[in-house]
Amino acid sequence: MVVRGGWRVRALQLWLPLGFFLLFTLFPFYWMAVTSLKPNAELYNTQMMPLLVYHPTLKHYVDLLTQTSFLLWTWNTMLVAVISTAISLVLGVMLAYPLARINFPGSALIAIAVAATYLVPQPLLFIPMADIINRMGLGDTLTSVILTYPTMLVPFCAWLLMGYFKTVPHELEEAARIDGASHFQAMWRIVLPLCTPGFISAGIFAFTLAQNEFLYALIFLTKTDVRTVPVGAIAELIRGDVFYWGQLMAAALLGSVPVAIIYSFFVEHYVAGLTAGSVKG
Amino acid sequence: MAALRSETAIALEPRRLPRARFRLKEGTAFGWLMVAPPLLFLIAFVGYPFIYGIWLSLEDRSVARPAVFIGLGNFIADARDPVFWQVVRNTFTYTIVATILKAAGGLALALVMNQNFRMKNLVRAMVLLPFIVPTVLSTIAWMWILDPAFSVLNWFLVHMGVRPPGPSWLGNPYLAMGSVIFVNTWRGLPFYAITLLAGLQTIPSDLYDAATIDGAGAWHRFRYVTLPLLQPVILIVTMFSVIFTFADFQLVYVLTRGGPANATHLLATYSFDLAMTAGQLGHGASVALTMLPALGLMIIALTLYMRRR
């Protein structure tokens, strides 16, 4: 749409509302950063103007990295997110490829079941899941979350990849089949390489979902050395009624950085994944 | 159009028939071979827990005692529990108000961003940040923003003349509900905005040009071009978001733990408290399952709608 009427109209229609929304969106991040740099004397002084830092210090970051297990939690989070994303991509392809490209008996029903599974929220499953994980003897192991995160990620990856697989013309695969390639070879050599953007989208999205997961991690991981960042921050940086706000904000910021960096490299793919289900074309 | 289609169908017939049969035979084996492992995984870790959860809800099961089958006993106890009904009301209030705010705000932001301006991609990336960043971590920031003693909001309010220490955002039942709804809106609005923006960009601009030539003003263009064409996207995004708002856990757990006095407890956090904190697995499972009728309807409706498209 072309905006007419000069800078006044443009300020009113674009910059003013945009500025408002950006302030709304970004203020908590600014607040995290400012708080994490304040010495305690400033942090708990209600007389000082809170939006600025007068004597910035890295003390909270140093304390966070040396006195807590934050680095270990970060490592755990990464490890869990990478492995469960990898598992989900492999299982997702195995589901999505036949459903998208081969019309075999039962495929329509499975496709519906997969979509429905994707929409089942965790709170419906966590109580029985806790009991199952306990009985399997997997409590307080990273295996417990590596095993359960794909329950959310596989249906999502499959759903997203189906869309990409459907766009590859059948003729390509058939040409390969006529030349003697097996179904598997046609998939592996012809179709999958053409769907690289789909893998990046699904991978990025699954990775951020795994980083974000809280409920299963809260229930299954009760020991410091197996915790992920969200659970560690909630369970160990808040000690009783004492809140170490400087450290908490440093943790919130540092915990968000890996996701934000990866996301910033792949924004387009992320948005493609986000909108895949709801927007066509 | 129909005639054309049947002609092409006839033209393609001899080629298509053997192709389909050839695919059916080998394809079936290959298809099931591929699908079986992930399907078994999902049956074991989604299907089985789901059924097992229904079984648990029919038992009186506490951590230290053997389980006793009590039929619908847990559900009957729920129905007589005033806290349960309060939690149900909270869940609906939370879902409905937050959804309206997110949908309206998201649509507004999408419309604003659907103009041409510099650094549009950067702005879009920044707008999505609340949705990307782990919810627990951003909610911790909100907890600090809404802190009873050191709230930055109250600093401004007090300096504008409100009596110190200013409102207790998470201590007053109504303000606490307002606060969790607000934070949920903050987190979810970008999802609406970016998805609706993608939807807006698929609307061909000649439709707007045609409407303008016919004398439509900005409002009429929005009402008769934008809204009808955007409607499927709005519907899907909203249903999607309603499902996950209705079953929200993290945000409330971190911000208020359901307090003060259960004023912000949702079905998910309440069932967590019963099952994990109090150790009453069966009772907790029954509360979680009361989400099923509403959720199930939404899930089935959305699944069928997405497939039809």
Flag whether residue B146 sits within 8 Å of chain A, measured between CB atoms.
no
In chain A, what residues touch B155 (CB-CB under 8 Å)?
Answer: 46, 49-50
Cα of A154 to nearest chain B Cα, Å = 8
| Rg of chain B on CA atoms, in Å | 26
Among candidate residues B138, B88, B5, the one with its CA nearest the CA of residue B287: B88
Q: What's the mean pLDDT when you consider all of chain B? A: 86
B127-186 pLDDT tens trace: 989 998 999 999 999 999 998 888 888 888 888 887 777 888 999 999 999 999 999 999
Helices (H) and strands (E) in chain A, counts: 17, 2
Comparing alpha-carbon positions, the chain A residue that sits nearest to B232 is A278
Give A128's contacts in chain B (Cβ within 8 Å). Answer: 49-50, 52-53, 56, 285
Which two structure tokens, joined as six digits, stand for A52? 């600025």
- The CA distances from residue B139 to B145, B182, B232, in Å, are 10, 11, 31
Nearest to A61 by CA among A262, A261, A255, A264: A255
Q: Worst-scoring range by mean pLDDT, A87-101, A123-137, B16-30, B273-287?
A: B16-30
Count other Cβ atoms within 10 Å, centred on residue B292.
16
Q: Using the beta-carbon criterion (under 8 Å), do B299 and A120 form an inter-chain contact?
A: yes
- Shortest Cα distance from B54 to chain A (angstroms)? 9
Nearest CB among A151, A211, A218 relative to B45 is that of: A151
Q: Which of the listed CATH numbers 3.40.190.10, 1.10.3720.10, 1.50.10.100, 3.40.980.10 matches domain B72-308?
A: 1.10.3720.10
User: How far, in Å, CA of B193 to CA of B108, rounded?
Assistant: 8
Cβ contacts of A21 on chain B, cutoff 8 Å: 109, 112, 127
- Is B56 in contact with A131 (Cβ distance < 8 A)? yes
Q: Can you tell me the ipTM of this complex?
A: 0.90
pTM of this structure: 0.89
Give residue limits of the domains in chain A. Answer: 6-57, 67-276
* Cα–Cα distance measured from residue B309 to residue B306, given in angstroms and rounded to the nearest whole number: 5
pLDDT, residue A278, reads 57
Test mutation, B132, B145, B249, B267, chain A, max A CBs within 10 A: B132
Q: What percent of chain B has pLDDT over 70?
A: 91
226-285 in chain B: CB under 8 A from chain A: 233, 236-237, 240, 243-244, 246-247, 249-250, 253-254, 267-268, 271-272, 275-276, 281, 284-285
Would the CB atoms of A119 and B250 count as touching at under 8 Å? no
Nearest CA in chain B to A269: B125
What are the residue ranges spanned by the domains of chain B? 2-57, 72-308
B193-230 b/e (C-beta count within 10 Å ≥ 16 → b)? bbbbbbbbeeeeeeebeebeeeebeeeebbeebbeeeb
**Rounded Cα distance, A64 and A66, in Å:** 6
- Compute the count of residue pairs across chains A and B with CB atoms less than 8 Å apart: 289
**Residue among B268, B284, B295 nearest B90 (CA):** B268
Choosing among 2.40.220.10, 3.30.70.1430, 1.10.3720.10, 3.40.640.10, the CATH entry for A67-276 is 1.10.3720.10
By C-alpha distance, the chain B residue nearest A107 is B31
Q: B235-266, pLDDT tens digit by residue?
A: 989 998 999 999 999 999 999 998 899 999 99
Q: Are A97 and A109 in contact (CB under 8 A)?
A: no
Chain B residues with CB-CB distance to A180 below 8 A: none
The two structure tokens encoding residue B119: 């650094």
Q: Return the sign of the alpha-carbon dihedral for residues A54, A55, A60, A65.
A: positive
Q: What is the pLDDT of residues A29-77, one digit of tens each?
A: 999 999 999 988 888 887 778 888 888 899 999 999 998 899 999 999 9
Give B3→chain A minimum CA distance, Å.
25
Residue in chain B lying closest to A144 (CA): B45
Counting beta carbons within 10 angstroms of the beta carbon of residue B28, is it exposed (0 to 12), middle (13 to 18) or buried (19 or more)?
A: middle
Confidence check: pLDDT of A21 > 70: yes
Interchain CB distance below 8 Å, B288 and A233: no
Question: Does residue A258 surpass a pLDDT of 60?
Answer: yes
**Measured between beta carbons, which residues in chain A are less than 8 angstroms from residue B259?**
none
CB nearest B199 (choices: A105, A256, A279) = A279
